[in-house]
């Protein structure tokens, strides 16, 4: 990606950076993918449905609140289950039960394997915080605080809008832009001066549906063309590619 030799840059005017977590700051998307596979591979086989694949994760699950991901995948196979509620046992034959079973698998994997933040993402985070920009994490996962602590990033973010916060406040999850809009509001920065950074289809759609200054897609497997089509203004493989595009001294911010 070219440096910003011009007097303007696509990142000019951005004062707040709203980061998705899984797949943007940490490689926990891979842990989520394995947990979903552990859930749905035997479940779909038992129901005589088409087998589960990584494509299903990106198309129906990635970036969505957990129970919404369960519903979306089941709908793709023509399977209907009662919703149940969050207190359901992981063995319950409900949407909530399946979601809770997946969450247990995720927590077991995270506890045994840990997680290390992407070095390029930390380098970008270092740079924008050094500039005095505001930052927040906006994640559909209710495990976001746990993941941030495991990755050593918890002290970097005073604003974390995760799935639990969204549930408590009645804020719709991605692909609605509402969680990102709420994060910008908590930071006190207008959405037009805020950047959404996402790797998931539903997250990029959320950014594109709002009035944000820029939507940045990180290609962790969805594909650059897909992220472009869904509304990303910039697509990168790693976040440190954005550092040369940050306004320099004397440029408009």
Residues catalogued as catalytic: 20, 22
Q: Quick one: tokens of 38?
A: 């552990």
Torsion 49-55-146-116 (CA) sign: positive
Output the six-digit token pair for 110: 């995270």
Alpha-carbon gap, residue 124 to 246, rounded angstroms: 10
| Side-by-side strand order, sheet with 194-198 | 160-161, 134-138, 16-19, 194-198, 214-218, 234-236
Cβ–Cβ under 8 Å, residues 193 and 14: yes
Three-state secondary structure call for residue 137: strand
Of 28, 103, 60, give the one whose Cα is nearest residue 222.
60
**C-alpha 99 chain-centroid distance:** 17
């Amino acid at each position: 990606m070219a440096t910003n030799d011009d007097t303007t840059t696509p990142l000019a005017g951005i004062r707040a950076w709203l980061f998705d977590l899984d797949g943007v700051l940490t490689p926990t998307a891979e842990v989520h993918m394995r947990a979903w596979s552990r859930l749905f591979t035997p479940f779909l086989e038992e129901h005589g449905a088409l087998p589960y694949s990584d494509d299903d994760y990106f198309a129906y699950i990635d970036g969505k609140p957990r129970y919404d991901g369960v519903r979306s995948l089941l709908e793709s196979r023509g399977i209907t289950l009662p919703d149940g509620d969050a207190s359901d046992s992981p063995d319950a034959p409900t949407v909530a039960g399946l979601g809770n079973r997946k969450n247990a698998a995720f927590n077991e994997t995270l506890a045994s394997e840990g997680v290390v933040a992407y070095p390029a993402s930390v380098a970008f985070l270092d740079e924008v915080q050094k500039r005095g920009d505001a930052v927040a994490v906006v994640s559909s996962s209710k495990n976001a605080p746990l993941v941030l602590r495991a990755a050593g990033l918890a002290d970097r973010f005073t604003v974390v809008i995760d799935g639990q916060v969204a549930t408590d406040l009645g804020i719709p999850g991605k692909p609605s832009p509402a969680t990102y809009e709420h994060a910008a509001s908590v930071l006190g920065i207008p959405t037009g001066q805020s950047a959404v950074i996402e790797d998931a289809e539903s997250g990029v759609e959320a950014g594109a549906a709002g009035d944000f200054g820029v939507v940045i897609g990180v290609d962790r497997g969805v594909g650059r063309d897909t992220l472009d089509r869904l509304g990303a203004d910039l697509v990168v493989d790693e976040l440190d590619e954005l550092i040369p595009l940050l306004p320099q001294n004397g440029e408009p911010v």
